[in-house]
């Protein structure tokens, strides 16, 4: 059976664990050549070896997405190695369960630098390449918190909502160049990051109509579809995977 992402070059940020790891592995199984970007070299190399052991092709490039120079070096390295960029998945992110009145400027900057500027740096570097190619695909991993307006994490909700709207704006701007941009908005997913607060995780899971959190693999399945030609008429969309947590 033909692989859906055969011969495409994909960059996945935050690819050392969780959702990013699952997306990178799935893309490689679909035939993509994958650049895994992240800060934790040991985990990144482990995932690269796993892809190689499965017969795929990948490279790990240590990247701190809060540093524009790191992101530029990442994209330059991918271009040098593969000559093009077909898919960008902006997945790197941090959580921010901080009440509004307790949040400091440093708290805001930490979330903005990773969850907003990290993706913006990558799009600044990649969109001109895709425009020259007249093809490309950007998937911004956001969150259902962009629209659920949860009171315990207003900073996170604010930033994810802004990223979703930026994606819609850019989807209109770049459609003429054959470039698609979409949001992938998970609900609660069983990652190490989400389980960092076990009591909060259990409480949130109890409120999911399907009765459980999602898995990274389930989110990766959607990302693979969005990156493929099967979603060729989908741009400017937000695809939610939330287990039934509708508004």
- Catalytic residue positions, numbered: 156
Torsion of the alpha carbons at 128, 131, 133 and 136, rounded to the nearest 10: 100
Separation between Cα atoms, residue 82 and residue 33, nearest integer Å:
8
E-assigned strands of the chain?
Answer: 9-13, 33-38, 57-62, 87-90, 136-141, 179-186, 238-241
Among 88, 103, 96, 77, which residue's Cα sits nearest to residue 153? 96
Report the DSSP beta bridge partners of residue 184: 141, 239
Phi and psi torsions of 95, nearest 5° = -90, 165
Separation between Cα atoms, residue 80 and residue 66, nearest integer Å:
22
């Amino acid at each position: 059976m033909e692989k859906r992402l055969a011969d495409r070059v994909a960059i996945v940020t935050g690819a050392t664990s969780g959702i990013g790891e699952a997306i990178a592995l799935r893309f490689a199984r679909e035939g993509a050549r994958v650049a895994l970007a992240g800060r934790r070299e040991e985990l990144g190399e482990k995932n690269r070896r796993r892809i190689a052991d499965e017969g795929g092709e990948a490279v790990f490039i240590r990247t701190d997405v809060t540093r524009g120079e790191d992101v530029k070096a990442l994209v330059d390295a991918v271009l040098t190695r593969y000559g093009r960029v077909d898919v960008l998945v902006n997945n790197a992110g941090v959580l921010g369960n901080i009440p509004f009145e307790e949040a400091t400027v440093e708290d805001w900057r930490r979330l903005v630098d990773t969850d907003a500027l990290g993706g913006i740096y990558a799009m600044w570097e990649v969109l001109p390449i895709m425009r020259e190619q007249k093809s490309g695909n950007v998937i911004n991993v956001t969150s259902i918190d962009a629209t659920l307006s949860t009171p315990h994490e207003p900073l996170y909700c604010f930033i994810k909502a802004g990223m979703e709207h930026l994606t819609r704006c850019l989807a209109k701007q770049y459609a003429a160049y054959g470039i698609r941009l979409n949001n992938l908005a998970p609900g609660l997913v069983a990652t190490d990051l989400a389980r960092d607060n076990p009591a909060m995780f259990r409480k949130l899971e109890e409120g999911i109509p399907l009765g459980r959190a999602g898995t990274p693999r389930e989110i990766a399945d959607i990302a693979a579809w969005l990156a493929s030609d099967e979603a060729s008429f989908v741009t400017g969309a937000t695809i939610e995977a939330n287990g039934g947590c509708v508004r």
